[in-house]
Each structure stands twice: as structure tokens, then as C-alpha cells.
């Protein structure tokens, strides 16, 4: 039979839970402006009627056992979270591209159409002045040497304009690389923090008793399943906020494991699992200079590659034959009996003794591994121990780092946008290179323009504009206006005025003369002046263009090209922003705190609390009558 005080116990629990419901409501209200906060609620259940027999009996004397609090949960929608992160990733990708392309557009605009006195720095203006300098040779009474010097100076101005554009592109490229460095650093900080939060989440479920024992150990070594409905809510909010931020850098996916921890993947590759996390690195093709220092190689293809390193909690690295438990193990070197291989202290073959690899490089690589400098270690391995296709140069060498590149797998995000813009060579990309029309594409279009200027003006001094006997645009005249610096052929940065023209400016209009000849007006032939001036009006096939353009129209064409590219990206981004905002609003309606709704809840819980208080008073009066009034004669 139920105790006489059962009613008081029921109301006592009701008062406690009403108070807790008010506490949760107050917590929601105070965090209504907290970024990433998910509104919370208390889950209430009716207490079962159990008389400790073989089953349950709804006997009257056991009815009304009261209410119990199952736990405090947070209101979120996993589907909306995934959609938000997907849209956020795509939006960030296009946003980055739009910003960088706008910088390139500004650089092109500054050298495009400028045929008036208000702008004397553009390519159109300098080309026009270059043309006028040649036409001035027909003037009578003017010192021809002075005119030749003016023409040469005008040519240098054209080169300067092109170099100015190239310098701006170089600055944009450097800034993009800086942005990549900052992005990778932030991503790694997020991964580290997520792994740390996983430890707290796992401990939180256990300490709060929000788990169920399974009686067996799973693949992660846990013999329990966390009740993920409850647990450490604030830590989970922090985790979700980090996942939101991570989604702006790259496309991600996440999964809650049975122990309540989050497994996070980038481009399908796990980067956080329990308290272990990976490190995202980038490399730029590099080579050793004469001083033996590792530096970026400006001549090599300008490529960035993202890699996922091994999880940092592992003690060893993959299955390489060269592995050590501490940084000091690899200190001496010796050859095997046949003198063919360099061995470590344990007798393992490292590299071919006849190879050009200094054993000290091996030590440097493993020292970097032990110090956690994965980027440095990977660069050393790629450069000295692997072929271009990633296979070992020595068949006995097992790579420390698996071929785990995810550059081509990252679908969206700021990192994808930065990668496409930095590497994208468009139609100039070699097989396997990035074909997006990015910084490299526009750099190469103007390299192609420099090559075309070089070829077109030098062809003036060939027979009928055809390459001469030696195949480089120079025939028996042995003269050309432009040249390229050695090692920088075919680039804006390498375009220069030829030594021949610098030495004898007048030879440009009298190429058949000798280098030390005495040039004067009578020797100048209009044939060469006409040939040179015709180059300005002629249309040329530049680079990989299918149509021919004048040099001025070529620059205008690319001004339109990048304008159309930005317009297309912005249209897509605007649509993506609408979808992102729509999902964001829908998610806010679910997880966000509504002060009106919480105000209604507060009044409801307050009335509940007051009712419990009145019930306690009523029960107290009943018990007082029972205890003090029952059995008293006359009362």
C-alpha cells in the first residue's frame, strides 16, 4: 500500500522539476544571443506504477506516482545541419574565387583601353606611342638617332606595362598563397580542438551517467553506448560551431559514434577520430639551391597540393622499413656487405649507396617526423626518394607517407577556391594540371602576348614575315627588336629589348647595315617603317586563342573574359547565398531561442510550480487532520 506521505513526495519531485524547467528556460533566455547555442529543454516522463511483483498492476493505491526528469536535451536537426554546411562550403568556394578574380580584373582594367591624355599608363596608350615613334621617321629635319631612341624608349614602356601587370598578378598569387597558409593553419587548429572536445564529450557521457553498458567491447574499445540525446550539451554546441566553421574551408562530413564522439572527414578521408586528429599540409614544388637550403622554385610548376598526414597519436609512420622510436636512433650509417645499400643501425636498407642522396637527408627527414614537421618531411621524401609519379626511386624503400593527396577530392570550400585560383591554368594546363581559369591562366595569357609581340615584330626582319634560316625569326639580316632573358623565354618577365637594338637604335630601320655603320636619313628605307607600323594594325593569333586579335583588342578581350567569368560566378553565388540563408533561417527556427516562446514556457512552469505549492499545502492540511484530529472525542 502506498505511504501516507506519498503525495508529498510526488509534489516534492514536481516542485524540483518545475524549478529545473524554470532554470532551463532561464538558461535559454540568457543564451538567446550566444552564437552557436542550441535551445535546451527538459524531458519529463511519468513514473511507472510498480509493486515489485512479476508484472505491473495499475492498482488504485499505486496510481499517481508522479513525474521524473529523464534528462536535458538540445533541439537540433541533423539534416538541416548537413544542408547548411554543404551550402556554406559551396558559397565560400565561389566567394573566394569572385574576390581573387576581381583583383585580377582590376589589374587588367588598368592596362586595357587608355588612349587619352588622362591615362598614360595603359597598354593601348603605350602601343599607340610606340607606333607614332616609328611613323615619325618620315619627318624631315629631325635627328634620326633621337627618333630611334624615342622608338626604343617607347618599346621599353610597352614592356614595362606588361611587367607591371605581371607584378600585380604575382602579388595576387603571393597573397593567395598567404591565404592558403592561414586557412591550413586554421583548419589544423580546428581539427586539434575537435579531437580535444571528443575527449571531453566522451568523459562527459560517463560522468553524467548517460550511457548503457553493452557487455562487449566494440572496435573502438568501448563496452558501452552513449545516450547521445543528452550528455554534455554545451561541449556539443562548441563541436557543432567548429564543424560549421570547418565547412567554410572544405566539404566535410561528420558522424556521431556509439561513444558519443564525432568522426570528421574531409573529402571522404577521416581527419578526426576519437582523440586522434590529422594534419592538413600543403606543398609547393621546390628544389635545393646551391646553398643546400630548401626553397620554393620559381621555375617549377606552381602547384599546391593538400595532404592528410597520419594521425598524430600513432607512434610509428606507416610500414616503412625505416622507423625509429626516438629521434636519436638514426645517428650512424654503414654499407651492407656488398657495399650496395646504406643501412640503419638495425640493418635495414635505406637507400642505394651509389645514389646521389646524402644519408644526412634521411636523418633530416626522420628528425622532422619526430618533431611533427610533416610538411618538411613530405617535401624531402618527394624530392629525394620518390619519382614524379610517387613511386620509390629505390625498390627497397617503402614510402613513409602514403599517397593520400586530396587536392582533387576537395569539392568545395575556401581552400578549394584558393587552390583553383592559385593553380588554375585553364586552356594552358598540361595533362593532369588544374584547368580552372585562375591566376596561372591569366598570367599565361599575357605571357602568350609577350611571345606574340616578340615574334610579330621580329618577323619584320625575316623574308615575307617567315622564320629565317635558323628558325628563330631571324634571317640573313641578323637583327631583331625583342629578345628573352635566358631561362625566362616566352614570359612577360623575360621580355627585353635585344642587345642589337640597344647597341644601334638606328639599325632597326636599316637592318642590312653593319653594326658599326654610319646610319643617316638617306640610308633609311620606308620599307622597314611600313613593315613595323603594319604590325600594330594586323591581327595575330596569340597563345591558344582560336580567333586573331590586334594587341590592343587582345587585352580588351581578356577584360571581357574575366568580367563574364566574375558575372557568372556572382550569379551562382547569389543563388547559393539565398539557399544558404534559407537553410540558416530554418535551422535558427529549430535551434534558436525564441524569447516569446520561452516567455510562454516560463509562465507555464511558474503556474505549474504554484500549483505544486498549493497541492503541498492541501496535503499538509489533510495530514494535519489525520494526525492531530483523528480519534479525538468531540472534535
Q: Say yes or no: 448 and 544 in one domain.
A: yes
Q: Domain range holding 65?
A: 6-75+592-629
φ/ψ of 356, rounded to 5, equals -85, 0
Beta bridge partners of 334: 343
Q: Say yes or no: 451 and 559 in one domain.
A: yes
In a domain, 613, yes or no: yes
- Give, in order, the Cα–Cα distances in Å from 12 to each of 65, 466, 616: 12, 103, 8
Q: Say yes or no: 137 and 27 in one domain.
A: no
506 falls in which pLDDT band (50, 70, 90)?
Answer: confident
Q: Say yes or no: 440 and 394 in one domain.
A: no
Query: What is the number of structural domains in the chain?
Result: 3
Q: Say yes or no: 442 and 544 in one domain.
A: yes
In a domain, 291, yes or no: no
The tens digit of pLDDT for each residue in 86-95 reads 999 999 999 9
- Residue 103 pLDDT more than 80? yes
Comparing CA positions, the residue from 76, 79, 84 lying closest to residue 231 is: 76
Structure-block grid coordinates of residue 110? 588598368
Beta bridge partners of 392: 386
- Residue 28 pLDDT more than 70? yes
In a domain, 538, yes or no: yes
Q: Say yes or no: 444 and 511 in one domain.
A: yes
Distance CA 333, CA 323 (A): 15
In a domain, 514, yes or no: yes
Q: Is 347 left (phi over 0), alpha (psi -120 to 50) or beta?
A: left
The tens digit of pLDDT for each residue in 420-467 reads 898 888 888 887 778 889 999 999 999 999 999 999 988 888 765 544
**Cβ–Cβ contacts within 10 Å for residue 94, how many?**
22
Helix (H) / strand (E) element for 555: namely helix 551-591
Distance CA 134, CA 254 (A): 67
What HEC string does 60-80 produce? Answer: HHHCCCCEEEEEEEECCCHHH
Q: Say yes or no: 383 and 479 in one domain.
A: no
Structure-block grid coordinates of residue 19? 524549478
Q: Say yes or no: 498 and 552 in one domain.
A: yes
In a domain, 502, yes or no: yes
In a domain, 547, yes or no: yes
Q: Say yes or no: 525 and 442 in one domain.
A: yes
* The predicted structure's pLDDT at residue 629: 75
- Residue 385 pLDDT more than 50? yes
The tens digit of pLDDT for each residue in 215-238 reads 787 777 778 888 888 989 999 999
In a domain, 584, yes or no: no
- Give, in order, the Cα–Cα distances in Å from 293 to each of 296, 297, 361, 591: 10, 11, 12, 53
Q: Say yes or no: 510 and 445 in one domain.
A: yes
DSSP 47: P
298 falls in which pLDDT band (50, 70, 90)?
Answer: very low
Q: Say yes or no: 550 and 468 in one domain.
A: yes
**Mean pLDDT, range 153-172, rounded to an integer:** 91
- Residue 333 pLDDT more than 90? no
Q: Say yes or no: 599 and 553 in one domain.
A: no
The tens digit of pLDDT for each residue in 461-474 reads 876 554 444 444 44
In a domain, 139, yes or no: yes
Distance CA 182, CA 180 (A): 5
Q: For the CA atoms of the chain, what is the radius of gyration?
A: 38
Amino acid at each position: 500500500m502506498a505511504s501516507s506521505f506519498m503525495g508529498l513526495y510526488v509534489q516534492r519531485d514536481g516542485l524540483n522539476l518545475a524549478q529545473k524547467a524554470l532554470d532551463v528556460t532561464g538558461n535559454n533566455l540568457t543564451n538567446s544571443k550566444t552564437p552557436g547555442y542550441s535551445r535546451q529543454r527538459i524531458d519529463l516522463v511519468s513514473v511507472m506504477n510498480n509493486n515489485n511483483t512479476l508484472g505491473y498492476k495499475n492498482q488504485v493505491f499505486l496510481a499517481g506516482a508522479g513525474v521524473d526528469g529523464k534528462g536535458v536535451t538540445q533541439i537540433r536537426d541533423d539534416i538541416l545541419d548537413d544542408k547548411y554546411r554543404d551550402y556554406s562550403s559551396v558559397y565560400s568556394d565561389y566567394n573566394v574565387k569572385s574576390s581573387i578574380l576581381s583583383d585580377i580584373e582590376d589589374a587588367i582594367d588598368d592596362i586595357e583601353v587608355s588612349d587619352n591624355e588622362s591615362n598614360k599608363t595603359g597598354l593601348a596608350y603605350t602601343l599607340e606611342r610606340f607606333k607614332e615613334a616609328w611613323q615619325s621617321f618620315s619627318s624631315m629635319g629631325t635627328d634620326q638617332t633621337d627618333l630611334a631612341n624615342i622608338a626604343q624608349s617607347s618599346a621599353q614602356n610597352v614592356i614595362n606595362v606588361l611587367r607591371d601587370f605581371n607584378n600585380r598578378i604575382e602579388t595576387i598569387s603571393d597573397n593567395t598563397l598567404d591565404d592558403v597558409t592561414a586557412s591550413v593553419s586554421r583548419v589544423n587548429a580546428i581539427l586539434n580542438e575537435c579531437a580535444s572536445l571528443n575527449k571531453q564529450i566522451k568523459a562527459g557521457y560517463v560522468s553524467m551517467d548517460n550511457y548503457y553498458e553493452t557487455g562487449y567491447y566494440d572496435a573502438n574499445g568501448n563496452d558501452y553506448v552513449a545516450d547521445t540525446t543528452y550528455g554534455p550539451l554545451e561541449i556539443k554546441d562548441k563541436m557543432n560551431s567548429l564543424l560549421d566553421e570547418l565547412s567554410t574551408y572544405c566539404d566535410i562530413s561528420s558522424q556521431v559514434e556509439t561513444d558519443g564522439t564525432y568522426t570528421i572527414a574531409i573529402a571522404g578521408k577521416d581527419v578526426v577520430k576519437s582523440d586522434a586528429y590529422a594534419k592538413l599540409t600543403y606543398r609547393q614544388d621546390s628544389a635545393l639551391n646551391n646553398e643546400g637550403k630548401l626553397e620554393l622554385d620559381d621555375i617549377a610548376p606552381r602547384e599546391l597540393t593538400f595532404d592528410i598526414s597520419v594521425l598524430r597519436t600513432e607512434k610509428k609512420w606507416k610500414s616503412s622499413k625505416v622507423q625509429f622510436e626516438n629521434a636519436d636512433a638514426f645517428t650512424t650509417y654503414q654499407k651492407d656487405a656488398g657495399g650496395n645499400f646504406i643501412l640503419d643501425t638495425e640493418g635495414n636498407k635505406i637507400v642505394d649507396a651509389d645514389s646521389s642522396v646524402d644519408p644526412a637527408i634521411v636523418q633530416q627527414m626522420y628528425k622532422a617526423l619526430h618533431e611533427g614537421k610533416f610538411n618538411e618531411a613530405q617535401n624531402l621524401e618527394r624530392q629525394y626518394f620518390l619519382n614524379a609519379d610517387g613511386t620509390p626511386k629505390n625498390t627497397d624503400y617503402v614510402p613513409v607517407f602514403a599517397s593520400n593527396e586530396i587536392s582533387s577530392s576537395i569539392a568545395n570550400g575556401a581552400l578549394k577556391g584558393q587552390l583553383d585560383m592559385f593553380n588554375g591554368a585553364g586552356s594552358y594546363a598540361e595533362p593532369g594540371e588544374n584547368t580552372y581559369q585562375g591566376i596561372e591562366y591569366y598570367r599565361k595569357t599575357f605571357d602568350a602576348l609577350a611571345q606574340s609581340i616578340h615574334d610579330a615584330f621580329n618577323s619584320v626582319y625575316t623574308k615575307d614575315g617567315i622564320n629565317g634560316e635558323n628558325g628563330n625569326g631571324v634571317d640573313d639580316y641578323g637583327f631583331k627588336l625583342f629578345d628573352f632573358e635566358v631561362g625566362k623565354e616566352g614570359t612577360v618577365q623575360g621580355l627585353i629589348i635585344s642587345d642589337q637594338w640597344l647597341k644601334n637604335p638606328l639599325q632597326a630601320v636599316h637592318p642590312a647595315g653593319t653594326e658599326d655603320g654610319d646610319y643617316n636619313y638617306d640610308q633609311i628605307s620606308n620599307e622597314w617603317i611600313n613593315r613595323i607600323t603594319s604590325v600594330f594594325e594586323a591581327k595575330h593569333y596569340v597563345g591558344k586563342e582560336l580567333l586573331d586579335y590586334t594587341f590592343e583588342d587582345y587585352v580588351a578581350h581578356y577584360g571581357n573574359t574575366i568580367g563574364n567569368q566574375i558575372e557568372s560566378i556572382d550569379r551562382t553565388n547569389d543563388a547559393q547565398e539565398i539557399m544558404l540563408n534559407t537553410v540558416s533561417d530554418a535551422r535558427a527556427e529549430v535551434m534558436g531561442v525564441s524569447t516569446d516562446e520561452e516567455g510562454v514556457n516560463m509562465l507555464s512552469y511558474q503556474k505549474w510550480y504554484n500549483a505544486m505549492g498549493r497541492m503541498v499545502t492541501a496535503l499538509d492540511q489533510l495530514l494535519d487532520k489525520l494526525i492531530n484530529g483523528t480519534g479525538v472525542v468531540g472534535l
